[in-house]
Structure 1
């Protein structure tokens, strides 16, 4: 399984025993990542396809030659390619299909083997991965599933199984309602939503541009803007496009704007970031989390079960000494220490923390966004405990294992 993400491509090779009713994962025999992602080659589809050669060469070495003909492969692209638009993404994926078919022995999966995944599938596959690894998809664990919150580069996903207190309550109908057939018994009734544009990399860009929007006239006149989420006296230049800067043919023309950090602290930074969530937007189907999107309230429908946060949540918290389980309030406290400049002394016991803070001027911005996403976006209570992990039982979390389990159906598999 190749995860063609917005910031890089990753290969996962799994070995299953499918002699029982449920596929048994024996081992993840290979995980490897490369950068950049396929979307970085938008003007060169051939180069995009060849960028996967490192991953494919490693996969060929790991799968015994006599099993390669019956080991299916899939390439699933996520929000990075989705943002390029259909024409550019189709050219890249068509070239990937041709390259893999002509040069490698693995059969392309029969079930949409090379495609841009829908955001709903991405989230639900991640939900399957986590709950499969936790043993919560067994019949005896019904109703005890974990929720997953995944913060990628271009999008963020939420998937959970809401439980309502009375029979008269139920989830509203809509695309957010995902009926998952897995194993025996009734389908799982899941809530899912993928927020395109709310991944960390996209959000960071919007947060920086927001201050330029706010000071448009001065920014165009002076070429600079002050930003509370950046360290004091930090300087960087961004390319900014506005309707106010157009050429004679009415095409937007980017201008360079210098951002100057003020180090104003967590509160001032959060004031900028929280506006990104559009909490005041119309809510056609109530209740809404953010951006006018319906969501059953976590405080009422997901009270005591495990809640996992992944990807950038893990990458942001673990280098700064956070445990693998922490409350939303504790996450907020870490964010405040970083943004208010007190983290250097408090984290002296954490190897590499000082270097990480000094070398990454976006750390305050990134932490504030991730914290605000949980607290303000998803309306999590301060005392709510969340767990984070990069692996469960030695296997990478994320959607790839779940998608691979789904891929086992409909493909000719190797027979023992």
Structure 2
């Protein structure tokens, strides 16, 4: 399908952005679009401009805005040559749906996540370099220049879990209108995300807590009216606290307890009772254990479900590690500092596993009701496993699938909506555990308050929970699970594009501070919880972080829009190279001179031999028809070098050519022993009284003197550059030698005609 043309009304004043989410199992390309801010400001007025650009799907029909390829880009760490073929379908999809005329101004980002973080820095650099080269040379999209961030700047890089959380926080508040209203009225939402390996939190502390909170990240956005909104956000990640890795730790805990009991009693069961599995479900687990673990704890064990949600809550609670030492004044769990959360002001949106375990498993998505959720989970866990399978099969036949169609690889949720028994059955097996883990993280870990109303929570639904929250002074629901708002999914890629669209809004003045990514707004990365992933490229951040606080605010990266340290470094490199070349100028000039003279010498020898009537090959004289020799041609191809070598050297360069011939004093023949390529002329002068003037030739003819000109054995000076003037000179000669005035080419053309014979002997009269 050809790309759309700019005559399409939908494309009028439309801007585009492309993000490739390079995850562990695949890379998904997403196209976003928004109206140009200048056009919107002409069409809208007043409060309509107190908002961010409206970012949505980048295709008019909305169905082809996304495309995914598999496997993850990290799988090419040992085969970077295959990255081009891997990314080509994604690039072709983007070029198909974005007009060619708009592609040069469309930013393209490839941001890698979990899979790339596991590679060594060297392999990370190799993959990013190959990716950058392919995208730069096979597309016309806008890609950043090389910088300390990477070979394609911020366009191709690896982002941290904290950056995902910040972009997700922007996406949630953009979709939930958290950025609208005045500074006093604006109340943002917190963001919770849980996958198979980790869980994240990002929120804006209350104004009072911001004064005391540590490690806050500045998030600045520019509205359509060019005003700036500024929020200070806390973000952190708990690695190993996603549902799948928590399950692995839980399995290891049960095996250790089972082995301790069996070592004390011979009558121990041969299987492990697991309250976090549906009743009578039997599975075999082999935990991931360190090499130092015992053979028992590394071997496979049989687990039998007892289906007790209440016991499961108690068994999984220690996994939060709430007793870990807290290095700061306030920690939630596992010793990780988090500022105190005021839930009357901070309301949270949960995505990913929070949504899968509520809406797609129990149909309880949206406003969260703890009592209703706990009841649904308890009923599910207590069911016999065979009954769960029957209900699931009935749902499949009716087209109402249970679960979420979630695909997991290596403990990471990689896709949803992929139905089939291989996908759905594992989800149903782990649903009881995941529901308990969600409850413990929310309430015992993060501290979300339980709304308990014995008179109203027996048959409530999400809407009534929202009403109850209002009566309890909590305003909006304290926690909601969501997947999308309207037809736009909540994704960190959306947050990234909202930020890019905000950057393109014209600033109120030329001196306004530019909008940058939150990671670039951190004044001191050494003390920040967000540490960017920088493979081994040239990096000035460490040096800049150390001296940035000594620089005036107007000279920092945030004010200038570029790194002043990097700029000074490149200036130093250029200055050092220029100084080195200047100091070596004489040596370089000498080398170039020798190079040029090597070619010049052969040409001059040929020319003088032709003037002497000598054959270049030792035979007959040359033909009167002149043709350029190879040496002459090569000399003509080097005029710049010739000019450089002759600078300041014309007057002092000695004659490079020496031609020797036997001389006979008895015959009176004289031959030049050295000829200068510089031409000279003979002209008559009157004799002085009493004889010749000093240094005049005996024939009364004055000859111009050029330094370095040779003399004959009688003391006379050889006229430089004119061999013919020697052969035609006579003591009684008082005329101008016309042949010496003629160009060399003309002389060589008349050799055979007898007009002038340079080799004629000299006879004294």
**TM-score bucket (shorter structure):** 0.7 to 0.9
Query: TM-score, normalised on structure 2?
Result: 0.47
Match in the other structure for 1:135: 177
Match in the other structure for 2:720: none
- Cα distance in 2, alignment partners of residues 198 and 44 from structure 1: 32
SS in 1 for 2:300: strand
The equivalent position to 2:37 in structure 1, one of 10, 19, 39, is: 19
Question: Is the Cα contact below 8 Å between 1:327 and 1:385 reproduced in 2?
Answer: no
Cα deviation digits, residues 364-405 of structure 1 (max 9, x gap): 222222222112211111226422222223222121122123
The equivalent position to 1:277 in structure 2, one of 297, 316, 320, is: 320
Question: Is the Cα contact below 8 Å between 2:171 and 2:494 reproduced in 1?
Answer: yes
Question: Is the Cα contact below 8 Å between 2:81 and 2:130 reproduced in 1?
Answer: yes
The equivalent position to 2:499 in structure 1, one of 396, 406, 410, is: 406
In the alignment, structure 1 residue 241 sits paired with structure 2 residue 284: no
SS in 1 for 2:55: strand
In the alignment, structure 1 residue 379 sits paired with structure 2 residue 462: no
Structure whose alpha-carbon radius of gyration is higher: 2
Query: TM-score, normalised on structure 1?
Result: 0.81
User: Cα–Cα, structure 1 residues 241 and 287, in superposed 2: closer, same or farther, change >3 Å?
Assistant: closer
SS in 2 for 1:182: strand
- Cα distance in 1, alignment partners of residues 82 and 434 from structure 2: 31
User: Cα–Cα, structure 1 residues 402 and 233, in superposed 2: closer, same or farther, change >3 Å?
Assistant: closer
The equivalent position to 2:358 in structure 1, one of 317, 336, 345, is: 317
Match in the other structure for 1:86: 121
Question: Is the Cα contact below 8 Å between 2:248 and 2:288 reproduced in 1?
Answer: no
Higher mean C-alpha displacement, 76-85 vs 389-398: 76-85
Question: Is the Cα contact below 8 Å between 1:46 and 1:92 reproduced in 2?
Answer: no
In the alignment, structure 1 residue 211 sits paired with structure 2 residue 254: yes
Match in the other structure for 1:182: 221
Question: Is the Cα contact below 8 Å between 2:365 and 2:482 reproduced in 1?
Answer: no
SS in 1 for 2:28: strand
User: Cα–Cα, structure 1 residues 195 and 5, in superposed 2: closer, same or farther, change >3 Å?
Assistant: farther
- Cα distance in 2, alignment partners of residues 124 and 374 from structure 1: 19
Number of residue-to-residue matches in the alignment: 400
Kindly indicate whether structure 1 or structure 2 has the higher relative contact order, using CA contacts under 8 Å at least 6 residues apart. 1
**Cα drift, residue 224 of structure 1:** 7.2
RMSD across aligned positions (CA): 3.7
- Cα distance in 2, alignment partners of residues 59 and 206 from structure 1: 42
- Cα distance in 2, alignment partners of residues 209 and 108 from structure 1: 47
SS in 2 for 1:15: strand
Question: Is the Cα contact below 8 Å between 1:357 and 1:363 reproduced in 2?
Answer: no
- Cα distance in 2, alignment partners of residues 292 and 241 from structure 1: 23
Question: Is the Cα contact below 8 Å between 1:6 and 1:81 reproduced in 2?
Answer: yes
**Cα drift, residue 75 of structure 1:** 1.5
Match in the other structure for 2:275: 228
Match in the other structure for 2:649: none
User: Cα–Cα, structure 1 residues 234 and 308, in superposed 2: closer, same or farther, change >3 Å?
Assistant: same
**Cα drift, residue 243 of structure 1:** 3.1
**Cα drift, residue 219 of structure 1:** 9.9
Question: Is the Cα contact below 8 Å between 1:79 and 1:196 reproduced in 2?
Answer: no
Question: Is the Cα contact below 8 Å between 2:248 and 2:287 reproduced in 1?
Answer: no
User: Cα–Cα, structure 1 residues 98 and 410, in superposed 2: closer, same or farther, change >3 Å?
Assistant: farther
- Cα distance in 2, alignment partners of residues 96 and 219 from structure 1: 54
**Cα drift, residue 53 of structure 1:** 4.2
In the alignment, structure 1 residue 352 sits paired with structure 2 residue 391: no
In the alignment, structure 1 residue 302 sits paired with structure 2 residue 343: yes
The equivalent position to 1:112 in structure 2, one of 146, 154, 167, is: 154
Gaps of 5+ in 1: 247-251
- Cα distance in 2, alignment partners of residues 87 and 214 from structure 1: 42
